[in-house]
C-alpha cells in the first residue's frame, strides 16, 4: 500500500469494516444492477479498500466527508447505514449519495464538491469548531483549475480541510497524464495521495445489462 499520511493527523476512529465487507457490498450492488433493477448509472469502487480503511482511521464521525460519483466505500466507511445506502443506490442515487448524519456530500460533477467543501471548512473555522473537512478527489479533478484555486485559498487561510487524491490514472477512460501531457507529479506533502487500479469500469459492471 503506497500511502503517506501527513504527520499532523491523528487516528481518531477504529474502522470495523473490513475490505471483504466493502467488496461484498459492491458485489451486492453489481448483482442488482445486472438484474436490470437499477435504472441509473452505478459507479462501483474496487481496488482501494485497504487505502481507504487506513485513511478513515483519521476521519472523525463529526467530520464532513466530500466524495465524488464513486462514493460507496467512502459513505460506508464514514458510517452511513448500509441499508440506507443500498436503497439510495437502487433508487438511482449512486452518483449523489448525501447524508446529514454523518455529514456527507457527493456530487457527480467533476470538482463540484471542492468549493462547497471549502465553504464548510470556512464555517468550521469561523465557529471555532474542532471538526474538519475531508475532500476525496480523483487524479483528473486534482489537475483542474478549481482544485488549484481552492487548495491555494484553503492553505493561505489555514482552513480545516484535508484533501485526498485517489489516482487510478483515468477520467472515465481518458488517461489523465496523457491528456494533460504530465510526465511526473509533484504532490504537496499536506495532501494524501495514493495510486490504485480500479476493478470496475467507470460506470456499470463491465457486463451487458438488458433494462
> Where does this chain bind another protein (CB under 8 A)?
93, 96, 98-100, 105, 107, 109, 112, 114-124, 126-127, 146, 149-150, 153
Residue 179 beta carbon to another protein: minimum distance, rounded to whole angstroms: 20
| Cα 169 versus chain centre, distance | 15
* Phi/psi at 30 (5° precision): -55, -45
- Largest Cα–Cα separation, the chain: 52
Residue 101 beta carbon to another protein: minimum distance, rounded to whole angstroms: 9
Our CB check for another protein shows the closer of 109 and 209 to be 109
Our CB check for another protein shows the closer of 22 and 75 to be 75
Q: In terms of DSSP bridges, do strands 133-138 and 64-67 run parallel, antiparallel, or are they unpaired?
A: parallel
Our CB check for another protein shows the closer of 106 and 168 to be 106
Residue 98 beta carbon to another protein: minimum distance, rounded to whole angstroms: 4
Burial class (CB in 10 A: 0-12, 13-18, 19+), 31: exposed
| Cα 15 versus chain centre, distance | 16
HSE-CB at 50 with a 13 A cutoff on CA atoms is 9
Residue 96 beta carbon to another protein: minimum distance, rounded to whole angstroms: 4
Our CB check for another protein shows the closer of 19 and 108 to be 108
Amino acid at each position: 500500500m503506497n500511502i503517506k499520511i501527513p504527520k499532523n493527523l491523528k487516528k481518531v476512529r477504529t474502522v470495523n469494516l473490513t475490505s471483504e465487507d466493502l467488496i461484498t457490498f459492491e458485489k451486492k450492488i453489481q448483482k442488482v444492477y445486472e438484474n436490470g433493477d437499477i435504472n441509473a448509472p452505478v459507479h462501483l469502487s474496487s481496488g482501494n479498500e485497504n487505502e481507504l480503511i487506513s485513511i478513515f482511521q483519521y476521519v472523525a464521525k463529526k467530520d464532513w466527508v466530500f466524495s465524488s460519483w464513486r462514493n460507496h466505500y467512502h459513505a460506508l466507511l464514514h458510517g452511513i447505514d448500509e441499508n440506507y445506502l443500498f436503497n439510495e443506490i437502487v433508487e438511482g442515487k449512486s452518483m449523489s449519495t448525501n447524508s446529514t448524519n454523518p455529514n456527507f456530500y457527493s456530487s457527480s460533477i467533476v470538482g463540484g464538491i471542492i468549493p462547497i467543501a471549502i465553504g464548510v471548512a470556512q464555517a468550521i473555522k469561523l465557529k471555532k469548531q474542532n471538526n474538519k473537512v475531508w475532500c476525496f478527489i480523483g487524479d483528473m479533478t486534482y489537475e483542474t483549475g478549481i482544485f488549484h484555486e481552492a487548495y491555494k485559498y484553503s492553505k493561505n487561510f489555514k482552513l480545516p480541510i484535508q484533501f485526498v487524491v485517489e489516482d487510478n490514472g483515468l477520467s472515465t477512460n481518458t488517461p489523465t497524464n496523457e491528456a494533460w501531457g504530465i510526465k511526473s507529479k509533484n504532490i504537496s506533502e499536506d495532501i494524501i495521495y495514493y495510486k490504485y487500479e480500479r476493478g470496475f469500469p467507470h460506470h456499470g459492471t463491465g457486463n451487458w445489462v438488458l433494462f
